[in-house]
Amino acid sequence: MSASIDRILSKAVDGGRLTPDEGVELFRSRDLLKLGRAAHAVCSRLHPEPYRTYNIDRNINYTNVCAAVCDFCSFYRKTGDADAYVLSREELYRKIEETIALGGDQVLMQGGMHPSLKLEWYEELLSDLRARFPAVNLHAFSPPELWHFHKLNKLPLREVLSRLKAAGLGSIPGGGGEILVDRVRKAITKNKALTDEWLEVMRVWHELGGRSSCTMMFGHVETDAERVEHLLRLRQLQDETSGFTAFICWTMQPGHRMTQQPEAGAFEYLRTQAISRLILDNVPNIQSSWVTQGAKIGQVALFYGANDMGSLMIEENVVASAGTVHYLTLEEIRRCIREAGWEPRQRDVYYRLIDPKPAPPPRAERALPVLA
């Protein structure tokens, strides 16, 4: 098996495209260091620059009301629940103002599949926020939410996305992807977009000129072959549209109806991210997932295919509701990058650097040693 793994890794490092069988073969390997070296080689080829990036944004869950039922989610509520909410406009303003004050340029707004809010409500929301905060990118609404808008309003998907884009939607997060295999989605979710529907939202959004991220949540009921199938579906769509800016993967946080599910740990996370970097040869950026793995593994992930530390994430509610919370300050993120040997640089959603170019480090004083 080792010779076969070596051949597959060499192929990926040299820029070759891996087949489905080769992807599954990599998942049979337990040689984490070998996988990491190959992923790092590919990442270094794609990103030879002397820096690694991060961004500053805030996750805002504008509502926790959701018509879907996901076995892993402890965040959603039904309409009549005592703690169900829809954030007021004033509360949204306050959260965005705080984000700007901390140097952020983006908010990630996701909610649930609210059963009664119509498309006009979202258009007014976006238009209002765009007018009030014109420099802030509205990275909002996961594909399952957008598919829900399309079904609830009985409007063509393209019209829904076009209207939201015109109202101020800047980019789409890759949330709600879990594993893009219907067997898996039907096993752990109900009333939620299936694989082709998730992909169709992204396809149409890209055709409209939009950009988005893509994700994978693993470590539940899926097989290794289904992880590979998920990655290949993303790679196939990227071949068609080139609309994905980045890929982020994370381990499922056991909770809610899946408390008996053993938690995938750092080994599985690093192994899966490394293989993802090798298979997704056309997705330019990979983010480290320190939110679920903590600072140390998030930093190590920069040597397992990631070229970005993700977001400062001023606020996070969904992962926190499952009981797993890691917080980093902005300086801690920068320190993680700096200690690993790169310059920390702030980026926007398109991975454009937006911080002032840092001054070069002071030249070391060169002087003859003083002999005592």
* Known binding-site residue numbers for [4Fe-4S] cluster: 66, 70, 73
Q: Distance between CA 341 and CA 325 in Å, rounded?
A: 26
Looking at residue 209, its amino acid is G
Q: Would you state the structure tokens that stand for residue 258, as one six-digit string?
A: 């899946």
Nearest of 175, 116, 168, 167 to residue 141 by alpha carbon: 175
Looking at residue 96, its amino acid is I
C-alpha separations of 199 from 205, 236, 310 in Å? 10, 10, 23
Binding residues for (3R)-3-methyl-D-ornithine: 142, 289, 311
The 3-state DSSP class for residue 354 equals coil
Q: Distance between CA 112 and CA 76 in Å, rounded?
A: 7
Binding residues for S-adenosyl-L-methionine: 72, 178
Q: 333 near 343, Cβ under 8 Å?
A: no
Q: Distance between CA 196 and CA 200 in Å, rounded?
A: 6
Instruction: Provide the residue count of the chain.
Output: 372
Nearest of 255, 263, 330, 324 to residue 292 by alpha carbon: 324
Strand partners, 286: 247
Helix (H), strand (E) at residue 346:
strand 343-346
Binding residues: 66, 70, 72-73, 142, 178, 289, 311
Cβ partners under 8 Å of residue 320, min gap 6: none
Q: Distance between CA 97 and CA 85 in Å, rounded?
A: 21
Q: 288 near 300, Cβ under 8 Å?
A: no
